[in-house]
Chain A
């Protein structure tokens, strides 16, 4: 594929709409998982783990900001308004990132499944035809590589450490796997984005993700759930009730004074 879009202005109106949708999905996922991880700040199982997960929360919010900035360059509102000024229905995040933070096993499994998906997307973006997105993805990949090391390290150790840790990890995996599959909810834009060489089709990304996570989960002594129905709806604005609660908390200060300068 020899298509190449040097900058955002090179996109046709139809492709522009597809890219805007893609960026909302990415940005909203990052913002919300970042917020969920930040709920561990001060509550981590040990100091070292608390610091690591808090830093990773900041990383994810930084990624969200970068995607919101690109959306702003495409004519959407400014990043603060996009992050804090929208109604739940306007968010395009997957249900996976909305769920309350759960126990540590839940957080680790969610973060691992999420980061593996993000890494696959970033790698595809980096090799893709939309130059500003390729450049951004290349920049974000270093942090994401660390997130993968962190997630893999915890998954392998907690998966078969003690009967209790195994049980908690397996329960989290069984619960979260269909939600993680929902990260790859097909959209009406998939074909167009794939043809333009910007982002592969969601089903293709999902297959790649499944073959990336399965060996690690198996090595950790966990059973990868099979024949599950993915949880869809997030990409079209249908969210679990947990999202509204999260947004009420996250947007509280913004709503008091939207124009506040810090």
Chain B
């Protein structure tokens, strides 16, 4: 059966400037601009929002759940976790860089 659906875009939503963009769901749309237009009502009508990202789901490469043992720690490595320290939220992000810096300064982000 032919798939008559539009492509899927993953939607990331930012509640306030400086906050990280958080994945909130996905949306069907013919292209990125329409994805933003439709995502605005789909995901921002019930909560505060200052910015949306949409990413074609096809642009995402993911690990396999069958490989999730790669994330397991054979020995105790809790000393690596930064949660025990009193740090600002953006520093405490496990992946280091503040997403806010990425959002506002990364010239590779296209705007509609």
Pair A157/B41 contact, Cβ less than 8 Å: no
Pair A153/B42 contact, Cβ less than 8 Å: no
A46–B37 alpha-carbon span in the complex (Å): 14
In the complex, B93 has a CB within 8 A of chain A = no
**6 A-B contact pairs sorted by A residue (CB < 8 Å):** A46-B6, A48-B29, A49-B38, A51-B41, A51-B45, A153-B37
Q: Which of A46, A49, A55, A149 contacts B45 (CB 8 A)?
A: A55
B-side contacts of A149, CB under 8 Å: 37
Question: If the complex has contacts A48-B42, A51-B42, are A150 and B30 also in contact, measured as CB distance less than 8 A?
Answer: no
B-side contacts of A157, CB under 8 Å: 30, 34
Closest to B35 in A: A48
Pair B28/A150 contact, Cβ less than 8 Å: no
In the complex, A254 has a CB within 8 A of chain B = no
B-side contacts of A51, CB under 8 Å: 38, 41-42, 45
A149–B30 alpha-carbon span in the complex (Å): 15
Which of A49, A149, A153 has the largest count of B CB atoms less than 10 A from its CB?
Answer: A153
Smallest CB separation, A158 vs chain B (Å): 10
Binding site for A on B (CB under 8 A): 6, 27-30, 33-34, 37-38, 40-42, 45
Pair B37/A150 contact, Cβ less than 8 Å: yes
A-side contacts of B45, CB under 8 Å: 51, 55
Pair A48/B28 contact, Cβ less than 8 Å: yes
Pair B42/A46 contact, Cβ less than 8 Å: no
A215–B71 alpha-carbon span in the complex (Å): 55
Smallest CB separation, B20 vs chain A (Å): 24
In the complex, A252 has a CB within 8 A of chain B = no
A56–B28 alpha-carbon span in the complex (Å): 19
Mark each residue of chain A from 31 to 59: 1 if its CB lies under 8 Å from any CB of chain B, else 0: 00000000000000011110110011000
A28–B12 alpha-carbon span in the complex (Å): 37
